[in-house]
């Protein structure tokens, strides 16, 4: 524990000098941090930016080690490949799940000679291109995963000494982003793979699984662990004679402790199951690939209203709009009728009181509305107006590009805001900037670093 505290102190100093990370008291609210950051920027600044709390990554790491100390986390770089997250986690002893040669190169570059990075990386993609296989092999990485026969043949030819995990198909119906239609071998397919691996003399060393991203049912981990146990036992049989020693329980953990079940609750189910069916005495190495668990909470997006359009409709007395709002709640829950949905969205936009244009949108951070089913929480700060009127108006928020699909909110309540006022969004760290494009020349590129403790 003392070593960890020392490390955290060192990290704080490192990032203070390297990235100018400002020290912020733990008790300070995000709203006041956003206000201060806006004040400190030049008054004519209207660029969007992220506030990054670097201590968040260290805190998540320590929480992980506290609740799941048997399991070594390999951060899923895909969830947010920012160098500062990789650096904090590398310093603390974390490993990395890389899914492509570019992610590998990133970790190599950041870790440099300081860490023995090759041992800290798993190439965790079950369907790999040959050029990427070669790059991982040449970098000295040792471990990867497979879920199909062709992949075993590819490995035999291009990476014969790899340590290989069988990626299992899980029941991930209750996760927000399930993967099992795309990846994973079921029990029967695993037996075929064990047979072929024995024939090709592939070094199978264990199993991996992923219960789907944002898994809100800890029983999915329990059931997947039981499946892994069965495959471990089958692999030992005389026909296959594999001595499995590694189990990788993937990602899926929420980044917020207010989610139900919370991380400690999920960890409890995992620990209880592990103690029963993979007891410590068996000497199995346990690892995992958490992405959003680390990256979600560390970043806040701060945007500016760059333009607006005031419709001046008396919303509350407009029967047509009331009817449309009623209809929208139905339409939103029915994905089948897309025409009706887009008609209603269009009508809502046309009839809103106020329309705002901000400097990040669907092609940027808010792509997570589409790709990650994310619900963004919006806060506002009035910079250019002392009028603290609480009157709320039906408002539409558009992103900055020329495309009309670039709409962040079709109908939310906001007070009357001015150009230059701030809309900010907490917890935007995972699967946001990682998937953002520079379409139309708009992208949030500025970062302000803090260290909150």
391: preceding bond cis by omega (within 30 degrees)? no
Q: Scan residues 100-159 and list those touching ligand PLP (CB under 6 A).
A: 124
Q: How many CB atoms lie within 10 A of CB 179?
A: 21
Q: Is 213 in the site for ligand PLP (CB under 6 A)?
A: yes
- Residue 129, token pair as written in the block: 């291109």
State the sign of the Cα–Cα–Cα–Cα dihedral 422, 425, 428, 432.
Answer: negative
- The residue from 123, 293, 366, 439 that contacts ligand PLP (CB under 6 A) is 293
Pick from 151, 289, 421, 427: which binds ligand PLP (CB under 6 A)? 289
Per CB under 6 A, the segment of 45-53, 291-299, 365-373, 433-441 that binds ligand PLP is 291-299
Binding part of the chain for ligand PLP, among 58-66, 75-83, 148-156, 397-405 by CB under 6 A, reads: 75-83
For residue 400, state whether it binds ligand PLP (rule: CB under 6 A).
Answer: no
Is the CB of residue 321 less than 8 Å from the CB of residue 351? yes
Q: Identify whether the C-beta of residue 60 lies closer than 8 Å to the C-beta of residue 293.
A: yes
Residue closer to ligand PLP, measured from CB, 76 or 220: 76
Q: What value does the CA radius of gyration of the chain take, rounded to a whole number of Å?
A: 24
Spatial separation of the C-alpha atoms in residues 327 and 343, rounded to whole Å:
11
CB of 139 to ligand PLP, least distance (A): 19
Pair 75, 294: CB distance under 8 Å: yes
Nearest CB to ligand PLP, comparing residues 167 and 394: 167
Q: Classify residue 7 as left (phi > 0), alpha (psi -120 to 50) or beta.
A: alpha
What is the nearest approach in angstroms of ligand PLP to the Cβ of residue 291?
A: 3
Q: Does 76 bind ligand PLP (CB under 6 A)?
A: yes
- Residues in 1-40 at the binding interface with ligand PLP, rule: CB under 6 A: none
Give the C-alpha separation, 104 to 122, whole Å.
9
- Please state the closest distance from residue 393 (CB atom) to ligand PLP, in A: 36
- Cβ distance to ligand PLP smaller for residue 213 or 395: 213
The residue with tokens 């209203």 is 305
Which 8-state DSSP code applies to residue 168?
Answer: B
Cβ atoms of residues 97 and 75 within 8 Å: yes
Cis peptide before 69 (omega within 30 of 0): no
User: CB of 371: closest distance to ligand PLP in angstroms?
Assistant: 11
- Least distance from ligand PLP to the Cβ atom of residue 71, Å: 13
Active site residue 402: yes
Q: Verify binding: residue 292, ligand PLP, rule CB under 6 A.
A: yes
Determine the residue with CB nearest ligand PLP. Answer: 251
200 and 247 in contact (C-beta within 8 Å)?
Answer: no
CA 131 to chain centre: 26
- Residue 206 in contact with ligand PLP, rule: CB under 6 A: no
- Which residue among 37, 190, 390, 402 is the active-site one? 402
Q: Which is nearer to ligand PLP, 56 or 210 (CB)?
A: 210
Active-site annotation, residues: 402
Q: Which residues bind ligand PLP (CB under 6 A)?
A: 76, 78-79, 97, 124, 179, 210, 213, 250-253, 289-293
């Amino acid at each position: 524990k003392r070593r960890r505290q020392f490390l955290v102190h060192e990290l704080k100093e490192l990032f203070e000098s390297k990235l100018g990370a400002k020290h912020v008291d733990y008790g300070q609210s995000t709203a006041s941090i956003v206000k201060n950051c806006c004040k400190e920027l030049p008054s004519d600044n209207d660029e969007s930016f992220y506030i990054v709390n670097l201590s968040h990554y260290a805190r998540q790491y320590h929480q992980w080690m506290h609740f799941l100390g048997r399991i070594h986390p390999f951060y899923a770089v895909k969830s947010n490949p920012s160098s500062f997250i990789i650096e904090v986690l590398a310093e603390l002893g974390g490993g990395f799940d890389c899914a492509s040669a570019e992610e590998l190169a990133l970790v190599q570059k950041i870790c440099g000679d300081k860490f023995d990075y090759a041992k800290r990386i798993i190439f965790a993609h079950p369907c790999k291109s040959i050029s990427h296989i070669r790059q991982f092999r040449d970098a000295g990485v040792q471990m990867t995963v497979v879920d199909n026969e062709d992949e075993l043949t590819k490995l035999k030819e291009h990476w014969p000494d790899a340590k290989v995990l069988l990626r299992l198909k899980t029941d991930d119906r209750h996760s927000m982003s399930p993967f099992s239609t795309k990846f994973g071998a079921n029990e029967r397919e695993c037996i075929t793979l064990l047979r072929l691996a024995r024939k090709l003399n592939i070094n199978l060393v264990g199993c991996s699984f992923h219960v789907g991203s944002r898994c809100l049912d800890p029983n999915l981990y329990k059931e997947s662990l039981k499946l892994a146990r069965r495959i471990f036992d089958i692999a030992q049989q005389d026909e296959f004679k594999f001595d499995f020693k590694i189990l990788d329980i993937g990602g899926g953990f929420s980044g917020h402790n207010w989610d139900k079940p919370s991380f400690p609750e999920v960890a409890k189910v995992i620990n209880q199951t592990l103690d029963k069916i993979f007891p410590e005495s068996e000497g199995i190495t346990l690892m995992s690939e958490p992405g959003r668990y680390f990256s979600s909470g560390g970043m806040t997006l701060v945007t500016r209203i760059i333009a607006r359009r005031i419709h001046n409709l008396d919303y509350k007395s407009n029967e047509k709009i009331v009817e449309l709002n009623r209809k929208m709640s139905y339409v939103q829950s029915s994905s089948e009728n897309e025409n009706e949905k887009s008609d209603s969205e269009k009508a809502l936009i046309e009839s809103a009181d106020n329309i705002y244009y901000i400097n990040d949108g669907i092609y940027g951070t808010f792509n997570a509305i589409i790709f990650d089913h994310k619900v963004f929480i919006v806060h506002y700060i009035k910079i250019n107006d002392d009028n603290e009127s609480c009157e709320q108006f039906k408002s539409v928020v558009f992103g900055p590009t020329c495309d009309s699909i670039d709409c962040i909110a079709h109908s939310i309540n906001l007070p009357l805001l001015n150009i230059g006022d701030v809309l900010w969004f907490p917890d935007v760290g995972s699967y946001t900037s990682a998937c953002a494009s520079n379409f139309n020349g708009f992208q949030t590129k500025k970062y302000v670093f803090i260290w909150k403790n």
